[in-house]
Amino acid sequence: MSEIHDVVIIGSGPAGYTAAIYTARAQLKPLLFGSSVFVGGSLTTTTEVENFPGFPEGVDGPELMTRMRAQAERFGAQMIDDDITAVDLTGPVKLLTDSTGTVHQARTVIVATGSGYRKLGIAKEEELSGRGVSWCATCDGFFFKGRDIIVVGGGDTAMEEATFLTRFATSVTVVHRRSALRASKVMQERAFADDKISFAFDTEIAELKQDGTMLGGVTLRDVATGATRDLAATGLFIAIGHDPRTELFQGQLDLDDAGYLKVASHSTRTNIPGVFGAGDVVDHTYRQAITAAGSGASAALDAERYLATLT
């Protein structure tokens, strides 16, 4: 078997790379698995990031991630662009298998696998991501000043996004497949009371229209009658949920009802000693690059302190 690493990190988003920077600077020679197909995490799917501190002019998502990776490598972090496909985290030495079948051993593991936004699954959705289609009002709302916007979804997140977006938008139309919202009463009431927000119930997005490289409007479909109509919105926020990437850990790490990794309060410790969780895989509340990076730093410090107890 291979050497026993002090730290193996799974995930190459802001949480994983930040954990790599911290553990590398602590001389722990981290080994990071960053996925075979999606190196750099969620920010590689966006263009301008304007809210990450230190970049007053904004920074391209992929460039930000390349810089984080370079910073970790500068201090000796080793990166493998491959997936971890199986784990046995139960013993004092954790076993992680990559897609080639190689088993890696580690005293500590930092899980930073992120979460994926649910998609509508319609044509042009990916193509128009960052070009009028977004999954995050906090991230992108500012770009939509004076525009007509659609928010898809009926839960708390959708109501929160719709209400937040009225700060920038001329109008916000909430499109929901059902005849009633799922959101809590207080969130619903806030949205209903807002003059800028209107609702299209029993309705789904049938088609995205393109204007050059940008979203030019949508076609809505009544789910009961099948009747369609066009809406000239140039912003579409999809708020139908997200799925934490935790399948790999089921049966070993404690997960909450929505599948997020559970960690002990004010720490990144999971239920298994030596295993830590950071970033969006733990966090269904904030889901920002900076909060993910912050918890990556916390996980690195927790791992470092745990390793110190072993000697």
H or E stretch at 304 = helix 289-310
Cβ 244 to ligand FAD shortest distance, Å: 9
Nearer Cβ to ligand FAD, position 80 or 218?
80
Pick the closest to residue 39 from 100, 97, 114 (CA basis). Answer: 114
* Tokens, residue 39: 């190196």
Query: With binding defined as CB under 6 A, does residue 132 bind ligand FAD?
Result: no
136 noted as active-site residue: yes
Nearer Cβ to ligand FAD, position 30 or 279?
279
Count helices and strands (H / E) in the chain. 6, 19
Cβ 185 to ligand FAD shortest distance, Å: 28
Cβ 296 to ligand FAD shortest distance, Å: 7
Note whether 261 and 109 are within 8 A (CB). no
Instruction: Identify any residues that bridge with 214 across adjacent strands, giving them in sequence order.
Output: 211
Query: With binding defined as CB under 6 A, does residue 13 bind ligand FAD?
Result: yes
* Tokens, residue 228: 């369609």
Query: With binding defined as CB under 6 A, does residue 38 bind ligand FAD?
Result: yes
Rounded distance between C-alpha atoms, residue 43 and residue 67, angstroms = 12
Rounded distance between C-alpha atoms, residue 10 and residue 17, angstroms = 10
Cβ 128 to ligand FAD shortest distance, Å: 11
Among 5, 9, 28, 41, binds ligand FAD (CB under 6 A): 41
Token look-up 């109509």 returns: 229
Q: Which residues bind ligand FAD (CB under 6 A)?
A: 10-16, 33-35, 38, 41-43, 45-46, 49, 51, 83-84, 112-114, 117, 129, 135-136, 139, 245, 248, 279-281, 287-290, 292
What residues are labeled active site? Answer: 136, 139-140
